[in-house]
């Protein structure tokens, strides 16, 4: 029993000894790493000090090269945006039109672009990109999620989370869409806005949908106005004298019944007035197949990265520094060997 305990103690001591050796090795490795790192920094600073004239000349040449490239060769990039609100399910058609224009730009088919966009040849060549995406924010995502839950079955409503839904919201559920036009000229051919909108407005299918919707809305408005007029007469017209002669049958109601009837009529009158307000709003909102929220600006916004002077100087400076390091290590000290540390 005593021998077994002594063996266990020896095993534990051996384990702690092994752990101590490994810990010391790790600490030595970390310390040596930092020492080597600081030695490298000091060596590089010493190298820079010895060759500062060469490095300074390379920096100046790089700055001048970057300046020359930026002023003479680099073409600045500009952007402008157009915000639209499509109606009558025309969102998908609008997206397809924009994708078609982008394909022509990528293929540099300026002849077809000139025909479809109705622009001058010079203006067409300045186009670099055109894209469209829905205008998103957290509030709109939550509204779309709430709308989806109201139409989903009970199983789907319980299993679907907002995080899963947010990445899968169809683009046509959003009301506003932003078209971004990229150019290499600050002058924007604003005529392209009219062409994009007319390509959808002149579509026969959407024109018929719009005409049918407006016609039905007019019928609905006439009904609401007629109902309001009747209720207005019942609620606010002058009441006939109850003591005057009545040729017809008179229905006598007590005071409470009259008050309840008036309240019901007034509630219905309020609902109809609110419905009339909504109808008038729809007349304005659905007046066009595509509503323009914000137009293209005549001058684009410069989105170019204009730090080529600085980039050129730093690039040539670092290249020269690497050349000097390589020269001092492999040319001046060809027999230099790196020792492997054993722990």
DSSP-assigned letters across all residues of 86-136: E-TT-HHHHHHHHHHHHHHHHTT-HHHHHHHHT--HHHHHTEEEEEEEE--
Could you tell me the pLDDT band of residue 236, with boundaries at 50, 70 and 90? low
Which helix (H) or strand (E) segment holds residue 81: the answer is strand 78-86
What pLDDT, on a 0 to 100 scale, did the predictor assign at position 44? 76
In this predicted model, what pLDDT tens digit does every residue of 285-309 receive, in sequence order?
888 899 988 888 888 888 876 677 7
Could you tell me the pLDDT band of residue 212, with boundaries at 50, 70 and 90? very high
Does 266 have pLDDT greater than 70?
yes
Query: Structure pTM?
Result: 0.65
Could you tell me the pLDDT band of residue 251, with boundaries at 50, 70 and 90? very low
Does 3 have pLDDT greater than 80?
no
Query: Which is more confident, 123 or 250?
Result: 123
Contacts 24+ apart (CB under 8 A), 336-343: 341/29, 341/32, 343/25, 343/28, 343/29
What pLDDT, on a 0 to 100 scale, did the predictor assign at position 247? 45
**CB distance 280 to 208 below 8 Å:** no
In this predicted model, what pLDDT tens digit does every residue of 101-153 receive, in sequence order?
999 888 888 888 888 888 877 778 888 889 999 887 777 667 766 776 666 65
**CB burial class (10 A; 0-12, 13-18, 19+) of residue 300?**
buried
Query: Which is more confident, 218 or 68?
Result: 218
Query: Which is more confident, 20 or 322?
Result: 322
What is the rounded distance in angstroms from the CA atom of residue 324 to the CA atom of residue 48? Answer: 9
What pLDDT, on a 0 to 100 scale, did the predictor assign at position 167? 63
**CB distance 179 to 84 below 8 Å:** yes
Q: In the predicted model, what is the mean pLDDT of residues 230-246?
A: 58
Tokens of 145: 């999620």
The number of C-alpha atoms within 13 Å of 305 and in the hemisphere containing its C-beta is: 6
**CB distance 122 to 189 below 8 Å:** no
What pLDDT, on a 0 to 100 scale, did the predictor assign at position 250? 44
Query: Which is more confident, 147 or 6?
Result: 147
Query: Which is more confident, 160 or 126?
Result: 126
What is the rounded distance in angstroms from the CA atom of residue 151 to the CA atom of residue 137? Answer: 22
**Phi-psi region for residue 118, left (φ > 0), alpha (ψ -120 to 50) or beta?**
left
What would you report as the CA-atom Rg of the chain, rounded to the nearest whole angstrom? 39
Could you tell me the pLDDT band of residue 10, with boundaries at 50, 70 and 90? low
**Chain-wide mean pLDDT for the chain?**
77
Cα angle 238, 241, 246 (rounded to 5 degrees) comes to 115
Which helix (H) or strand (E) segment holds residue 177: the answer is strand 177-183
Q: What is the three-class DSSP state of 227?
A: helix
Does 243 have pLDDT greater than 50?
no
What is the rounded distance in angstroms from the CA atom of residue 146 to the CA atom of residue 157? Answer: 10
Q: In the predicted model, what is the mean pLDDT of residues 267-283?
A: 85
What is the rounded distance in angstroms from the CA atom of residue 227 to the CA atom of residue 317? Answer: 83
Return the axis-axis angle of helices 2-50 and 308-326, rounded to nearest 10°.
Answer: 110
Does 239 have pLDDT greater than 70?
no
Does 223 have pLDDT greater than 70?
yes
What pLDDT, on a 0 to 100 scale, did the predictor assign at position 260? 62
The number of C-alpha atoms within 13 Å of 210 and in the hemisphere containing its C-beta is: 20
In this predicted model, what pLDDT tens digit does every residue of 80-97 receive, in sequence order?
999 999 999 899 999 999
């Amino acid at each position: 029993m005593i021998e077994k305990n002594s063996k266990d103690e020896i095993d534990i001591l051996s384990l702690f000894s092994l752990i101590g050796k490994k810990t010391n090795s790790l600490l030595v490795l970390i310390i040596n790493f930092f020492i080597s790192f600081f030695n490298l920094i000091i060596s590089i600073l010493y190298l820079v000090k010895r060759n500062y004239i060469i490095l300074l000349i390379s920096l100046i040449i790089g700055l001048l090269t970057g300046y020359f490239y930026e002023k003479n060769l680099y073409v600045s990039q500009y952007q402008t945006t157009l915000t639209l609100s499509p109606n009558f399910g025309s969102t998908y058609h609008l997206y397809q039109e924009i994708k078609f224009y982008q394909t022509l730009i990528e293929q540099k088919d300026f002849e077809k672009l000139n025909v479809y966009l109705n622009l001058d040849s010079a203006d067409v060549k300045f186009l670099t990109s055109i894209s469209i995406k829905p205008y998103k924010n957290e509030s709109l995502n939550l509204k779309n999620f709430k709308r989806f839950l109201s139409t989903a079955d009970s199983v789907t409503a319980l299993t679907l989370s907002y995080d899963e839904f947010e990445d899968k919201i169809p683009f046509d559920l959003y009301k506003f869409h932003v078209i971004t036009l990229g150019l290499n000229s600050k002058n924007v051919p604003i005529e392209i806005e009219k062409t994009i909108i007319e390509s959808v407005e002149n579509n026969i299918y959407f024109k018929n949908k719009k005409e049918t919707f407006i016609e039905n809305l007019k019928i609905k408005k006439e009904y609401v106005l007629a109902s309001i007029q009747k209720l207005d007469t019942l609620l606010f017209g002058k009441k006939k004298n109850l003591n005057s002669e009545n040729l017809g049958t008179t229905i006598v109601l007590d005071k409470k019944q009259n008050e309840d009837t008036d309240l019901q009529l007034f509630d219905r009158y309020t609902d109809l007035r609110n419905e009339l307000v909504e109808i008038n709003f729809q007349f304005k909102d659905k007046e066009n197949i595509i509503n323009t929220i914000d137009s293209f600006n005549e001058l684009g916004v410069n989105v170019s990265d204009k730090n080529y002077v600085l980039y050129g100087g730093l690039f040539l400076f670092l290249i020269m520094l690497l050349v000097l390091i390589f020269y001092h290590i492999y040319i001046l000290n060809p027999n230099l060997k790196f020792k492997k540390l054993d722990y």
